[in-house]
Amino acid sequence: MGSTRGKKYEYIPDYTAQNAYAEQMRKDWSRYTDKYMPIVTGLVNDLGAHPEELDAAVNTSNMKQDQAGQDVMDTLGMYGTQLSPIQREAMLSKLKASRTLEAVKARTLQRRTVDDRNDALRTALVGEGSGVRGLANQSLNAAAIAEQERNATGYGIAAAKTARSQAKAQGTMQLIGQGIGTAAMVAAMS
Amino acid sequence: MARRVNLPRTEYEQELLDIGGEQWGAYENTFIPIEDVWLDTIRKGGAGEQEAMDIAAAEATHALSPIEQGAYQDAFAGGMDPNSGAFIGLATDLATRKASGVSGAVTGAKNENTLGYYDKALTASQYGRGVGSEAITGLGTSAVRSVQADRMEREQEEFNKQASAATRQALYGAAGTAAGIAAGYGLNKYGGTIKDFGSSVGEVLIQQARGRNTLTSW
């Protein structure tokens, strides 16, 4: 006589590839946040007036103009030029004026350069921001798809449990009916 | 206790798994270090900037010096006196213009370096977004697959429970039929006796009740 209890079988799933893939994707995301996001942050932080750059441009100009004063003296010395006091005064005034004008020019030019650069960088960063927004949406969408899949599973499981419970109740009722019916039939036939 | 079912990995699956592992290994061991070096070069300023500025200064000086010398030669060839105000003015002009040119070149090199940093950083950012996008797609796919895996596992569990319940119901059905037959047989065999016994007990009870009623009615 066979068993009154059937055997149960369970499939043992293999998630090797899936787990490896998910692991690498986590690494990918870490790489993006650790290595690439700081670069974008660096660019964003570089937007600004940069007064230090304006000062640096002026300092460079002043330094080179001071050097020019020394170069003139060297040149005059090389050609044996003898400066009268008035000539010396005029030359020094000219060098001083040049130093001041070049400093103003350097600051103005650098300010314009920084402004133009900021404008171009801001435009580029708007594009980058759009890409970051895209990543955010992509992530939420992926989460929503997984959530939907989970909800569908939940509905399915609930329906299956209901069906099993109802079938059990129906079976119990059938059992009672069957018992009574059989008893009645046997009694009547005897 | 459930019995286990195993499905071995196919040859092609294994092949792909191996290729994936090998290629990831190659990427991590060979290309990531290169990428890291490249990423480390993306910075504003630094030694590279100073070098560019020094080169620009040297190049500007080198380019302007012959012009300066040519101007002096032309001046002397035209009979200019080295002690004249014109010569002093020429020397001052040439020196200050050269200084202006060199400082412009130096600051320009610094600005070029900054623009180069921006270009490189933006390229890296775009590449990085590709990495991020790849990761999100992969994690999204993994999330869906994990939910699907969970569903399959629960379905298997539920299916097994349903199958067991169906078996149990069949068993109960058989038991019910057997019990019914037994009950029918019992009724048939002992029905009269039970009926007589029941009637006797009932009669006694009725009589008792009536008796009490008679007494109380007096």
* Mean pLDDT rounded to a whole number for chain B: 89
Q: How much is the pTM?
A: 0.79
Residue B166: per-residue pLDDT: 86
Mean pLDDT of the A3-13 span: 85
**What residues does A11 pair with on adjacent strands?**
B5
User: Between chains, do B99 and A56 touch, taking CB under 8 Å as contact?
Assistant: no
DSSP letters of chain B?
-PEEE--PPPHHHHHHHHHHHHHHHHIIIIIHHHHHHHHHT--SSSHHHHHHHHHHHHHHHHHHHHHHHHHHHHHHHTT--TTSHHHHHHHHHHHHHHHHHHHHHHHHHHHHHHHHHHHHHHHHHHHHHHHHHHHHHHHHHHHHHHHHHHHHHHHHHHHHHHHHHHHHHHHHHHHHHHHHHHHHHHHHHHHHHHHHHHHHHHHHHHHHHHHHHHHHH-
Cβ distance A164 to B161 under 8 Å?
Answer: yes
Question: Measured between beta carbons, which residues in chain B are less than 8 angstroms from residue A87?
Answer: 85, 88
Q: Is residue A70 part of a domain?
A: yes
Residue that the structure tokens 């977004």 belong to? B129
- Please check whether residue A2 touches B, CB under 8 A: no
The residue in chain A having the minimum alpha-carbon distance to the alpha carbon of residue B184 is A183
- Residue bearing tokens 């002690």: B83
- Looking at the structure of chain A, the number of domains it has is 1
User: Are A124 and B122 inside 8 Å of each other by CB?
Assistant: yes
ipTM attached to this prediction: 0.82
Position A131 confidence tier, pLDDT thresholds 50, 70, 90? very high
At residue B134, the pLDDT reads 95
Smallest Cα distance from A12 to chain B, Å:
6
- Residue A157 is part of which domain span? 48-189
Q: What is the mean pLDDT of residues B41-61?
A: 91
**Is A9 inside a domain boundary?**
no
B59 touches chain A (CB under 8 A): no
Delimit the domains of chain B by residue range.
Answer: 42-217
Option in A65, A72, A117 nearest B91 (CB):
A72
Is A15 in CB contact (< 8 Å) with chain B?
Answer: yes
Q: How far is A19 from chain B (nearest CA, A)?
A: 8
Beta-carbon separation of B114 and A117 below 8 A? yes
Does a structural domain hold residue A134?
yes
DSSP β-bridge partners for residue A10: B4
Residue B203's pLDDT band, with cuts at 50, 70 and 90, is confident
Among A15-24, A175-184, B21-30, B127-136, which stretch is predicted with the lowest mean pLDDT? A175-184
Residue A1: pLDDT band (50, 70, 90) is: low
Say if the Cβ atoms of A16 and B143 lie within 8 Å.
Answer: no
* pLDDT band per the 50, 70, 90 thresholds, residue B215: very low
The verdict on A183 touching B (C-beta cutoff 8 Å) is yes
Chain B contact present for A106, CB below 8 A: yes
pLDDT tens by residue, B163-184: 888 888 888 888 888 888 888 8
Tell whether the model's pLDDT for residue B80 goes beyond 60.
yes
Does residue A37 fall inside a structural domain?
A: no
The answer to whether the Cβ–Cβ distance between A128 and B135 falls below 8 Å is: no
Strands B3-5 and A9-11: parallel
User: In B, residues 79-108, which contact A (CB 8 Å cutoff)?
Assistant: 82-83, 85, 87-89, 91-92, 94-96, 98-100, 102-104, 106-107
Instruction: List the beta strands (DSSP E) in chain A.
Output: 9-11
